[in-house]
Amino acid sequence: MRRAAPAFIAQLRRDRASEWERRFMALDTEVHRVKRDSKKRAAMTRVVDQPQHRETKEKTG
């Protein structure tokens, strides 16, 4: 397994096309990471807001 990593790295650095491919892969990874994080934040916000909404509804309704 350890020998595969240097071969993989050497393959990535082979030419300009692979340099751009590496950049696009990194960008794609970052896009997915940000998307996952925003979904987590939105879910956490809903969980936090939901009990407050119920209390308000019980007081007014």
Q: In this predicted model, what pLDDT tens digit does every residue of 24-36 receive, in sequence order?
A: 999 999 999 999 9
Contact assessment for residue 58 and residue 50, using Cβ atoms and an 8 Å cutoff: no
Report which residue type is found at 39. K
Domain count, the chain: 1
Residue 48 sits in which domain range? 4-60
Contact assessment for residue 18 and residue 11, using Cβ atoms and an 8 Å cutoff: yes
What is the average per-residue pLDDT within 1-14?
73
Q: What is the pTM of this model?
A: 0.45
pLDDT tens digit sequence for 38-48: 988 888 777 66
